Amino acid sequence: MGSQPVNPACRARLAALRGWGQGPYSWGAMPPTVAPLKIGDHQIWPPLVLAPMSGVTNKTMRALYKPFGLGLTVTEFVSSNALKYGSKRTMEMIDQHGLEKPVATQLWGDDPVTMAAAAKVVRECGADIVDINFGCPAPKVTKTHGGSACLRDVDRCEEIMRAVVEAVDCPVTMKMRLGWTEDQMVYVDVAQRAQKVGIRAVTLHARTARQFYKGSANWEHIKRLKQNLDIPVIGNGDLDDAHLAMTRMRESGVDAIMLGRATLGNPWLISQIADLMEGREARPTPPPAERLRFCIVHYRRMVDELGEKRAVPQMRRHVALYLKGIPGAAVIREQIMRIDRADEAIRVIDDAIARIEDAAVVAA
């Protein structure tokens, strides 16, 4: 089943968070500048995807960020081996609110049979799309031959993809890197094998596994991949500016773009890109006080859904990112890092908001 039209309740939620329906940003007022992304029966609009990020893209995060303009969200990447045991933490990783749909659940592993079994589980648990991870460079994944380490054996990649496609009744996609090293760039070969076995879209992060996140993503490789495939290609890597993202999309010819680390502490980047895709001028990033108010919303939602013990450590990183570029951020970050209670952390953020607004009044 494809994604459904936005209902009035959801539209109101979107309007509250993104400012849609106000002034020049009226819903659907301008013709779009790009086409929807089509993955199987899913027509995804806008063609803007939230990347899977370990320990980050849980259901709380996906539901918070979806209204900013994401067309598709992806879960944290899940070990196919771990799914066999059904631990509470693993099942939480594939859980959904419903607000963030459509959702792709991403799996990693190196055994075709285990990956196929895991795909059946996540499909039964509500995955709209099953995504295969051939991209993660983290040692904890690659030491067991998963993630980007799979790219060292393209035949095994093909076996895994075929097994997963045959196991489920929903679209299967795949995300990968260029290859294990610069002298082992296998991305075109793997993607063409993917197309042959029935993968419905491919995402390319334009770095090698050995690069991790160093250097720059080379979008010329993404352009080359698009030229060599008939199925949709999603481009990923170094998209931290709305106009740059649209330039990369236009020059490479990709069908969609995927955003990852650049959205952390800055979900307004999503809105800015969505604006451009929808034919509007990108609205400016909100002022510091407004950004920190949303930070508090994020903090409280995490506490409500994960509990204080788990939410406080996770939110330290998020708060630090929301503070980026705000006067006095270093001092506030240091305070937040030492705090173990949510109410104390929120009080520190509230105090920062008050100081910012007081300074604005004085300056005026």
Convert the pLDDT of each residue in 37-52 to its tens digit: 999 999 999 999 999 9
Cα 223 to Cα 233, 234, 235, 333, distances in angstroms: 9, 10, 9, 40
- Would the pLDDT of 24 be above 60? no
The pLDDT value given to residue 210? 92
Q: Please check the confidence at residue 115 and state whether its pLDDT lies above 60.
A: yes
Give me the amino acid identity at 286: P
pLDDT recorded at residue 22: 36
If one compares 68 and 90, the residue with the highest pLDDT of the two is 68
pLDDT of residue 281 exceeding 90: yes
Query: Is pLDDT above 90 for 26?
Result: no
Distance (Å, whole) CA 225 – CA 147: 20
Rounded Cα gap, residues 198 and 89, in angstroms: 31
Q: What is the pLDDT of residue 25?
A: 39
**DSSP of 60-78, one letter per residue?**
HHHHHHGGGT-SEEEPPPE
Distance CA 35, CA 33 (A): 7
For 230-264, write each residue's pLDDT tens digit.
Answer: 999 999 999 999 999 999 999 999 999 999 999 99
Mean pLDDT of 71-85: 92
Domains of the chain: 8-277 (3.20.20.70), 288-363 (1.10.1200.80)
Question: With bands split at pLDDT 50, 70 and 90, how would you rate the model's confidence at 70?
Answer: very high
Structure tokens at 19: 């400012």
Q: Which tens digits make up the pLDDT trace of 288-344?
A: 999 999 999 999 999 999 999 999 999 999 999 999 999 889 999 999 999 999 999
Angle between helical axes of 308-322 and 342-363 (0-180°, round to 10): 20
Residue 364 pLDDT level (bands cut at 50, 70, 90)? low
For range 198-210, the mean pLDDT: 96
Q: What is the DSSP string of 266-279?
A: -THHHHHHHHHHTT
Q: Supply 353's token pair.
A: 């908001």
The predicted pLDDT at position 29 comes to 54
User: Which residues are designated catalytic?
Assistant: 136
